[in-house]
Structure 1
Amino acid sequence: MRLTTLIAVCCLAISNFLTAQVTLNGLIIDASNGDPLIGATVLVKGTANGTVSDIDGSWQLTVSGLPIILQFSYTGYAPTEIEVSSTEQDLTIRLGDNAITTDVVEVRGRRISEKQQQAALTVETLDAIGIKETPAADFYDGLGSLKDVDLTAASLGFKIINTRGFNSTNPVRSLQIIDGVDNQSPGLNFSLGNFLGASELDVNRVNLVVGASSAFYGPNAFNGVIAMETKDPFLQQGLSAQLKVAERNLIKGGFRYAHALANAEGEEWFAYKINLEAFRADDWVADNYDPVYNTDLPADNPGGYDAVNRYGDEANSIFNYSRARNLPGLGIIRRAGYREEDLVDYDSENLKAGAAFHFRLNPSRGLESTELLLASNFSTGTTVYQGDNRFSLRDIKFFQHRIELRNRDDFFLRAYATHEDAGNSYDPYFTALRLQEASKSDSEWASSYAAYWQGTIVKRFRERDDFPQCFPVDCSLTEQDARRAEYFAREDIRDLLQEYHAETRTVAEQARGFDTYDRYEVGTERFQRAFDSITTTLASEGGTRFFDKSALFHLHGEKTFADVWQPNADSRLELTVGANGRLYTPNSKGTILLDTFGRNIDTWEVGAYGGGTLHLNNRYKVSASLRADKNQNFDLLFSPAASLVYTPTPTSTARLSFSSAIRNPTLNDQYLFYNVGRAILLGNIDGITDLVTVPSLINFSNTGDQSQLEYFDIDPIRPEKVRTFEAGYRTTVLEKVYLDATYYYSFYEDFIGYNIGVDVQTNGALITGAQPYRVSANARDRVTTQGFSIGGNYYFARFYTLNGNYSWNKLNTATEDPIIPAFNTPEHKYNVGVSGRDVPLNLFGNPVPGLGFSVAYKWIEGYLFEGSPQFTGLIESYGLLDAQINFDIPKINTNIKFGASNLLNREVYQVYGGPNIGRLAYLTATYDWNNR
């Protein structure tokens, strides 16, 4: 009986203890501007029970009962106390009315939150303060200074972010979301950088999750996730406006207005925000006229050569007269082509507009109220995009609409739709081919060239006294070839060849036969009429204009079960479950995809996931999750993930994780049908048979032996997969130094690339027809990569921060599989910088309010950038210096910032085939009035 009684008493005591426990939730923000304070301290007065605010300023604390007194403190702000007597109490804490400066500098007061420090994956953050402090000309460019991040620029309007290798100018292996909404182009299936994105004034923070993350974010979170979070109109009210002017005639302006309405009880029940941002600039010009990498002809070849940013001058077998003994000196010729700068609109523009309406369904609960959100965003503009070719995106438009029901940290049900309109976008590479074909076909042009050379130029050479008159009766053919090669290598004869080829080219460009026309010369009305006709005619109808009015529709729901099991105040189990579905409705009228003749290529995909996190004694956090995804055209796939986070001290965290990701083939990988003149680019949903390899076709054309032809088939395309093991350690040393180191090892399977083959028709020893294809395909080899990164921040002298990071990424597998996509990542890179915030300085006897500065240096090791054959080449090592200084004008609530990216104006190629990027000096004025 005694034992039974004792057990009953213990159970009752435990029951009373658990019943008495109360979990409080709240938010800590800056009283002056509404920005969340990250890492602020919350402490139960008179105890050691406390926590720190999260990356969005929120906090959660379990206490033994009510009422209690909570103490709130943050470096640089006066502490405050508040009595809490009810769980319904609004615990939105505003610090800053009596800001103070302390002698102690703490890392947690510098925006390193507990949640970020204890994250299982590598998470880099650029918050509102970081956006203000970045010396880059734009917050999106500022992401390039984060650890593990590769940022490349194909133009002013199109920037690409990638992590951990396999970078490309069409970033299909990275996912970009804004407030949980995927902002990819529905037709292209990847994000267009910040072209369709958030305005700078509305960005609260950007979290960059590095590495495979499908288990957490769904398909296509293959190498990383760029997660943008915008400002909440309930929390960050008022008017903000910004004007930026810069070199290259850049001007950018925008405003944000947010306001909340209260009911009769003074409880805010409705809030809205409106955003508008406009940008224009003279874009960087792609004017690289070096010979395309790994091509045979040098720039001084008298008959021409293939230049990187000149299109229509590519190789053709009928242009090779090097073995024609009756045409001495003709050699290999090329058509003149057209420069990109003569075919592309470099007047880069972007307009973004958005509105959001938030309704609190239970206003008395404040932040804990369930909210209904309605939001719409619109974006349009003109820029240059680089993929297999360079593309002029002109007057492209995006529309995005969202409806969401949510309760913070509890559940959400989100539905959104994205529509796009390609506007007047076109392919300048194909335009160059069309312009030349409108004058003469390649064969007609080559015939005109050779005929004039034979009838006029050869006669001139033979009349020269020094020309080697050697005939088969006098010497062998081999000797004749050797003498002529020696003759045409002479410097004076090379100069003469340049003159004769220029003359012959002029003649060949003139109409000299039936249905041929003079070359369309840039700058003439005749050229403009032909150019306008080609670029306004759909590609499926003989022009080069795209038609794309594709859309995607997405539904996503998630529920979190907090404290499913809580044996004590320091241990608990959380569970999260969710599901989503998506429908793509492509519509290209056959200009890009195989959606002609009424073919329906709408594609759906669904997914579901679940996972849990077990917190043990505030030291261990064990997480596991599993996601299942099914695409209409592919098998069910699973993405597991697991992690262990150990926190031996409040300032140190060790972590081990396993993560995985899948990438479904894009609509292009499945349904592409795009004729680029030299070849047809094909998707591969059904598989391709009986193609001939290019080397064997060349052997057949030289020998006439059909046995030389090698046939092959290509299996239907299937999803890519990656598995990653990661280990890391984060720590704070002496309260002033924060360090974060990570090592990863990844296994990739079924890479999506392409195969090249030819559909050939023969008649005995002759080729009667041949159509080259580039077909989407999976690699057979499995490859592995590994990498290491370390970053640190040192906070010193109260106002200053020294920061730096280093990344090493390595492709381990040596393979000749042509389908393996290029790694396109420097093996070594680093960033170093120094910044100051609220620096005390007197100027002419008066203090400069809000004075801040930052200087950052980035170094990238050279590497081979592999894109399409036209855009494959070496990126040389380079270093860039950025700097900025900013200060406040309190009387007009304005911050002035001036600086420059690439301050020393070192022009560099960040992507092969793209423009040379130089300095961009800027001046920005930001007005910020908070009505709270």
Structure 2
Amino acid sequence: MGKLSSYQLRPILALIFWALAGFAFGQNVIEGQIIDKTTGETLIGATVVIKGTSTGSTTDFDGNFSVKTDKEPPLTLVISFMGYKKQEIEVTDFSDKIKVKLESDNVLLDAVEIVDTRITDRQKQAPLTVETMDVIAIKEAPSGNFYESLGTLKGVDMTSASLGFKVINTRGFNSTSPVRSLQLIDGVDNQSPGLNFSLGNFLGASDLDVKSVDIVAGASSAYYGPGAFNGVINMTTKDPFVFQGLSGSVKVGERNMLEGAIRWAQAIKNKDGEEKFAYKINAFYLQANDWEAENYSPVYDSESARSNPGGYDAVNIYGDERVESNADESSAFGAIDYPGLNTFHRTGYKEVNLADYNTQNAKLGVAFHYKFREDLRAIVASNYSTGTTVYQGDNRYSLKDIQFFQNRFEIRQDDKWFFRAYATHENSGNSYDIVTTAIRLQEASMGDVEWNEAYKQTWGSVLGPQVTTLPGYPNRFNYDNAQQWQEIGLNPFLSQYRDSIVRFHQLNRQYIDSQLVSKDQARYYPGTARFDSAFNNITSKKFTDGGSLFYDRSALYHVQGEYKFEPSWATIRVGGSARLYTPDTRGTIFNDTLEYTRQQTDTGTIITDSAYKEITNFQYGVYAGLERYFFKEQLKASATLRMDKNENFDYIYSPALTMVYTPNEKHTFRTTFSSAVRNPTMADQFLYYDVGRAILLGGLNGYDSLVTTESFESTLSSLNQDSLDYFNVDPIKPEQVRTVELGYRGIFNKKVFVDASYYHSWYTNFIGYQIGIDAEFNNLNFLSGFQPYRISSNAQSTVTTQGFSIGANYYFAKKLTLNGNYSWNKLVSGDDDPIIPAFNTPEHKYNLGISGRELSWGFLPVPGFFGFSANYKWVEGFIFEGSPQFTGPIDSYGLVDAQINYNWPRINTTFKLGASNLLNNEVYQVYGGPRVGRLAYFSILYEWKRKR
């Protein structure tokens, strides 16, 4: 299909904007204030609705509200606030300001403590499993920031690939590249356009500006579109009309952590005293010393053990992966010529000598809101972030000076319709591949084949003869054959002199690395000027030029809209979205490589021009949903159907059906059938990434006639080409999932809130990858060349998972809360399919927590309130499967996060002392990543509310 250019879109968007803006016209205004009848305190967040309509408003910090309407008096306002009696007020004159005094509901008086913990009707009646963190919980986060504290919520997995890169996942298939989760901020996808997933909260909001976070677990494409596969992290920032004033925070802590944030919001009134325009400005900065990856154990299923005298392949040492031997395993003749050599590995480079661990993150955001009327507004927002952190994918990467730019335009009528358009641009800065850097450093001195041959020759000419002079060296002529000599004589002898063999290997390695032939071929030793020069040269050159630097200037453009119809019998929503990806990596990540224009002349072929191949990817979707109440609003049923189309794939439909039954205010039952689609990412389609040992390819076009690695290895020893097993990789297809979920939410004894759910999911066309070899043979059937490939592809079998989670909150002593949750997740079938990505999820995990707020004691020297929170998390061990280098066991572990705070209202300041991983239990959360330990902190938060 044809694509609309930006020039074609501009007049369309302008027409839409002015058409929607035309809804702004003069209306009647009802203003008032709502207070507590007993205490006289203003009530924040009370709901005011015109009876018989959906028109209404909520109260601000001063309890004020303003409702605009086309209706003429008289009319009735319905005023409600949880824990208070609902009240109806008749309005006969719009010129009078209304003052309403709400009375506490004696029946619900004990349940007010539940209200204080912000459990809303929306949460209780949500059709999917939703975990929520609101503005108060964000301030009380024990781990020090709201994003990391999301890991304490029910069913949520939080892992740390580095200090600056946290990964959130739900319901399995966890990964340091969380492509199966969608992360939204004010409805905007904040993914990296090149990577197609969010880098934690790198391009996000600070704690000062986040009002709430909802985590929706499970398949949700029918509600949120493609990408909402296993879950949605939906963040909402503070409205500058409601949250006005100045707030600022500063935090210091271990690992030289320094964090600062500031927020300013203001609403401006027109000549009639109406707040029509508001803006907010946010700035955030973080710096700290990252955790260092220092796992020097052998990689999982390594060919060589740590005790091997010739070295081994360590997890966080790179370039030592290639293994060489002095002889074929079936022959002892190599042991005769090179006694004691056996298996050896090349000297690699530790990550600590290659990575930039100086974590930094700076974010700046600005938003402008204009109200045409109380429920109709336009928003223009812009966000920028930059920084440095470590990211783990197929390799480990230093994302250095990476930048993101995001701009948004939105116009909406509250609870009726919206139109939103945004664009995200990415600049990879000076980001580089840490593993590839190590390999390039080795190549700069000697190639692997040359190094291995030199190592072997020196051993045979110098050190092998020394082995034969050791006392007790077995004479091979005393044995029937060479094999018997090796097994009975040589191997026990080498074990007896293991320390000497280790020392010989150390001497040989030192000689090869530092003195062979000339200094130009010597190893680049970390800490030397020669190393620094080579390192800077490699990390400043693109992959395509023999370096390890990425070039990424990718972008995505997105538009979406929705309209809600409200006939008397149901609520109907219709909407759609469209997205365009424009990756630009100059061949360093994707196959947008240089293409040449050639011209045939009398003297031969000449190149007349060259340009990078352009890659784009366009997708769109439309949906419709219907919601209706039955049985006096005790049963809410809804059905949604979404259709998505990616230009490279067929139409895909995502249906969803839900029923929520609420027999009374205390109990809610729900059942859901939901579905999701995940279009192959840009990498799944267009990847072309040479990691040295193999080339990683996108699977858009598939691949014909690859050789299995098993048959290729056997052919190398037998030289029998007929024993090769060939296979084809089909073109990749979108991944789909269907989920059935049962759930329950309830309140017991007016103090206990319980939420439980069970799910079962079926995945088809699961996206993974296949590994094969493109081998070439000459006319004599001898191997003339080969290239290993890893190609994105779909699983052939259906993958099924299931799980259960339950959480409970117990509210006691008015301001104290106990909470706990447990999650069970299980891969039921599909693990035997060779291309299924790993489940990477603990089967069992739980959280236990306690918190208190607004606690006061008479002996305090200044008037104020104490608060505290603590959480214990336990995670069962599991096998983390990433790339071959980063696959291995994660041991079971438990962590304690805790904080205590003191609020001094007179100076609008809160002091907070806390720590994540308080007991400093250093643990691996990602195999190949660092051990994560304690991070203690002290923070000061200042909040001045601007009077309206």
Structure-1-length-normalised TM-score: 0.90
Structure 2 residue aligned with 1:609, among 623, 643, 648? 623
What's the counterpart of residue 524 of structure 2? 520
Q: Residues 135 and 900 of structure 1 are in contact (CA less than 8 Å); yes or no, is this contact kept in structure 2?
A: yes
Give the distance between the partners of 2:544 and 2:491, measured in 1 at CA: 49
Aligned-pair identity in percent equals 51
Change (3 A) 1:43 1:733: farther
Aligned to 1:119: 126
Quote the residue 1:18 is aligned against: none
Q: 1:85 to 1:766 in 2, by over 3 A?
A: farther
SS in 1 for 2:536: helix
1:78/1:658 CA distance change after superposition, 3 Å: closer
In structure 2, do the counterparts of structure 1 residues 25 and 658 end up closer, same or farther at CA, with 3 Å as the change threshold?
Answer: farther
| Cα deviations by residue, 1:359-411 (Å, 9 ceiling, x for unpaired) | 1123xxx2x2x111111000000000000111000000000001111111111
Aligned positions of 1:46-85 closer than 5 A: 66-68=74-76, 70=78, 72-73=80-81, 84-85=91-92
Deviation of 1:450 (Å): 0.9
SS in 2 for 1:527: helix
Where do residues 450-849 of structure 1 align in structure 2 (5 Å cutoff)? 450-471=456-477, 474-491=479-496, 493-510=497-514, 512-513=516-517, 517-562=521-566, 564-566=567-569, 573-596=570-593, 597=595, 598-616=612-630, 617-763=632-778, 764-813=780-829, 815-843=831-859, 846=861, 849=864
2: CA distance between counterparts of 1:812 and 1:918? Answer: 33
Preserved CA contact (<8 Å) 1:693 1:709:
yes
Q: Structure 2: which amino acid aligns with 1:202?
A: D
- Distance 1:515-1:895 versus aligned 2 partners, 3 A rule: closer
- In structure 2, what is the Cα distance between the partners aligned to 1:643 and 1:745? 15
Label 1:862 to 1:755 Cα distance change in 2 as closer, same or farther (>3 A): same
The residue that corresponds to 1:232 in the other structure is 239
For residues 342 and 436 of structure 1, do their structure 2 counterparts lie closer, same or farther at Cα, with a shift above 3 Å needed? same
Deviations 1:698-753 (A, max 9, x none): 11111111111111110001110000000101011111110011010000011111
Partner amino acid, structure 2, of 1:306: D
Alignment of 1:65-144 (within 5 A): 66-68=74-76, 70=78, 72-73=80-81, 84-85=91-92, 105-144=112-151
Q: 1:256 aligns with which of 253, 263, 276?
A: 263
In structure 2, the residue matched to 1:417 is 423
Deviations 1:200-240 (A, max 9, x none): 11100011111000000000100000001000101110000
- 1: CA distance, partners of 2:641 / 2:842: 33
2:287 corresponds to which residue?
A: 280
Q: Does 1:403 align with 2:400?
A: no
Read off the aligned partner of 1:807 and give its amino acid letter.
S
Per mean C-alpha deviation after superposition, the further-off stretch among 290-299 and 714-723 is 290-299
CA distance in 2, matches of 1:267, 1:652: 42
Deviation at 1:765, TM superposition (A): 4.6
Distance 1:245 1:90 in 2: 47
Shift in CA distance, 444/494, structure 1 to aligned 2, threshold 3 Å:
same
Matches within 5 A, 1:14-53: none
C-alpha distance in structure 1 between counterparts of 2:439 and 2:362, whole Å: 32
Stretch of structure 1 that moved more, 457-466 or 164-173: 457-466
Number of the residue aligned with 1:897? 912
CA distance in 2, matches of 1:500, 1:173: 50
SS of the equivalent of 1:499 reads: helix
Tell me, in whole angstroms, the C-alpha distance in 1 between the residues paired with 2:168 and 2:31.
35
Q: Output the CA distance in 2 between the equivalents of 1:249 and 1:557.
A: 45
* Residue 349 of structure 1 pairs with residue 355 of structure 2: no
For 2:199, which of 192, 195, 199 is the aligned residue? 192
| Cα drift, residue 352 of structure 1 | 0.2
Aligned twin of 1:361: 372
Q: Aligned with 1:903: secondary structure? A: coil
For residues 595 and 73 of structure 1, do their structure 2 counterparts lie closer, same or farther at Cα, with a shift above 3 Å needed? Answer: closer
Matched position secondary structure for 1:565: coil
Is the Cα–Cα contact under 8 Å of residues 406 and 423 in structure 2 kept in the other structure? yes
Counterpart residue type for residue 792 of structure 1: A
Quick one: which amino acid aligns to residue 501 of structure 1? H
Q: Secondary structure at the match of 2:122?
A: helix
Alignment of 1:287-366 (within 5 A): 287-317=294-324, 323=332, 324-325=334-335, 326-362=337-373, 366=374
1:94 and 1:278, CA in 2 relative to 1: closer, same or farther beyond 3 A? Answer: farther
Cα distance change of structure 1 residues 574 and 162 upon mapping to structure 2, 3 Å threshold: same
Q: Is the 8 A contact 1:67 1:86 kept in 2?
A: no
Structure-2 change in CA distance of 1:359 and 1:59 (3 Å): closer
Listed one character per residue, the Cα deviations across residues 849-888 of structure 1 (whole Å, up to 9, x for unaligned) are: 2211111100001001110000000000001011111111
Residues 1:317 and 1:683: Cα distance change in structure 2 (over 3 Å):
farther
Judged with a 3 Å threshold, the aligned counterparts in structure 2 of structure 1 residues 658 and 88 are, in CA distance, closer, same or farther, namely farther
Supply the AA of the counterpart residue of 2:321: E
Listed as ranges, the matches of 1:197-236 within 5 Å are 197-236=204-243
- Quote the offset at 1:507 in angstroms: 1.4
TM-score by length of 2: 0.89
Distance in 1 between the 2:344 and 2:656 partners?
57
The change in CA–CA distance for 1:555 and 1:526 in structure 2 (over 3 A counts) is same
In structure 2, do the counterparts of structure 1 residues 873 and 84 end up closer, same or farther at CA, with 3 Å as the change threshold? farther
Change (3 A) 1:755 1:37: farther
CA displacement 1:605-638 (0-9 Å, x = unmatched): 0110110110222211010010000001000100
Provide closer, same or farther for how the CA distance between residues 815 and 826 of structure 1 changes in structure 2, counting only shifts above 3 A: closer
Amino acid at match of 1:559: Y
Decide whether the 8 Å contact of 1:352 with 1:380 is kept in 2: yes
Equivalent residues of 1:42, 1:73 under 8 A apart: no
Q: Is the 8 A contact 2:775 2:783 kept in 1?
A: yes
CA–CA distance in structure 1, aligned partners of residues 789 and 77 of structure 2: 73
Are 1:837 and 1:852, in contact at CA under 8 Å, matched by a contact in 2? yes
Task: Say which is worse superposed, 372-381 or 589-598, in terms of deviation.
Answer: 589-598
Residues in 1 aligned to 2:519 and 2:737: alpha-carbon distance in whole angstroms: 55
The reply to whether residue 243 of structure 1 matches residue 247 of structure 2 is no
Cα distance in 2 for residues equivalent to 1:804 and 1:328: 61
Q: 1:264, 1:95 → 2: CA distance? A: 32
User: CA offset at residue 336 of structure 1?
Assistant: 1.2
Secondary structure at 1:460 match in 2 = helix
Distance 2:161 2:502 in 1: 34
Work out whether 1:377 is the aligned partner of 2:375: no
Q: How many residues align?
A: 887
Aligned to 2:568, what secondary structure does the other structure show? Answer: strand
**In the superposition, relative to structure 1, how do residues 881 and 875 fare at CA in structure 2: closer, same or farther (>3 Å)?**
same
Q: Which runs of 5+ in 2 are unaligned?
A: 1-27, 596-611
Rounded Cα–Cα distance in structure 2 between residues aligned with 1:755 and 1:28: 63
Give the conservation status (yes or no) of the 8 Å contact 1:848–1:887: no
User: Residue type matched to 1:347 in 2?
Assistant: N
Contact 1:321/1:330 (8 A) holds in 2: no
2:738–2:763 Cα contact (<8 Å) kept: yes
Partners of 1:28 and 1:53 within 8 A in 2: no
* CA distance in structure 1 between the aligned counterparts of 2:42 and 2:584, rounded to whole angstroms: 42
Could you tell me which of 158, 164, 179 is aligned with 2:171? 164
Q: Is the 8 A contact 2:113 2:815 kept in 1?
A: no
Q: 1:54 to 1:711 in 2, by over 3 A?
A: farther
